[in-house]
Amino acid sequence: MQRPGLVLVGVLAAMIGLVMFTTRWHKSNIPYIEKMEKEEAADRMAALKKEQEQQNNPERLNAYAKYGKGVVKGEIEIERVGVVEVELFPEAAPESVAQIVSLAKSGFYNGLRFHRVVKDFVAQVGDPKSKKYKKSDYEGKTSEEVASTMGLGGGGSGKTVPLEKKLPHLINTIGMARSESPDSGDSQFFFNLKDNFSLDSAYCAFGRVVKGQEKLVNIAHGDAIVRFTIK
């Protein structure tokens, strides 16, 4: 029978050997690890540079000028914020613009409240269920809390349009919100509060704010559309 002392010595020796082996292995692989980290950092920088070049591409920045035929003009008055003037581009997004114009003319948007406002990202409106709540019901809540506790964000008119993705999501432009399905745009739209390059080709941009752009950053959860008028 082995003595307990000898067993303990054997275990300690094995542990010491493992530590020494691991230490030697780690030290021998430091150059490889450092090389991999440098390569990953270089790849990230290259990807970022490529994205910035695409984002600042003159063709992208001037895309709206290509689709000036039949531009639809309108005004959106927002509670507490004021009036902003908009242009919608049917040449680039015919079905999306037709949908928004039809809803606006019917008075659909009057009284609807902004249920999703994310600083330096978007301000979103268009869920018909949002009007059943008071402004005070939204106060102090995040967009996630508005969605989870008030059940907002999934409502619409019941008619969807296909994804139309010719225009970029520059700052102060207007995009069509949707669910996971690309062709699920309905009544909800959002103002881009910054250049949201990542949304290009994934979401439809169909318009832009041409007057009162500085007011968009003042939109808060619960602010209501007083009227959406098509000229």
Q: Which residue has the tokens 């809803």?
A: 103
Q: What DSSP line would sit under 32-83, residue for residue?
A: HHHHHHHHHHHHHHHHHHHHHHHHT-HHHHTGGGGG-TT-EEEEEEETTTEE
List, for residues 170-186, the tens digit of each pLDDT value.
Answer: 999 999 999 999 999 99
Give the total number of structural domains in the chain.
Answer: 2
In a domain, 62, yes or no: no
In a domain, 63, yes or no: no
User: Do residues 44 and 136 share a domain?
Assistant: no
Q: Which residues, at least 6 apart from 192, have a Cβ–Cβ distance to it below 8 Å?
A: 122, 169, 170, 171, 172, 173, 174, 175, 199, 205
> Is residue 198 over pLDDT 80?
yes
Burial per residue of 125-160, b for 16 or more beta-carbon CB atoms within 10 angstroms, e otherwise: bbbbbbeebeeebbeebebeebbeebebbebbeeeb
Q: Which residues, at least 6 apart from 184, have a Cβ–Cβ distance to it below 8 Å?
A: 160, 178
Token pair for 154: 């999934």
The predicted pLDDT at position 144 comes to: 96
Q: Label residue 35 by pLDDT band (50, 70, 90).
A: low
Domain that holds residue 28: 4-55
51 vs 61, more confident: 61
List, for residues 152-167, the tens digit of each pLDDT value.
Answer: 999 999 999 999 999 9
In a domain, 61, yes or no: no
pTM of the full predicted structure?
0.81
In a domain, 12, yes or no: yes
User: Do residues 102 and 199 share a domain?
Assistant: yes
List, for residues 3-19, the tens digit of each pLDDT value.
Answer: 555 555 555 656 666 65
User: Do residues 143 and 212 share a domain?
Assistant: yes
Q: CA separation (Å) from 49 to 41, 56, 121, 220?
A: 12, 11, 21, 33
- Across the chain, how many H-helices and E-strands are there? 5, 8
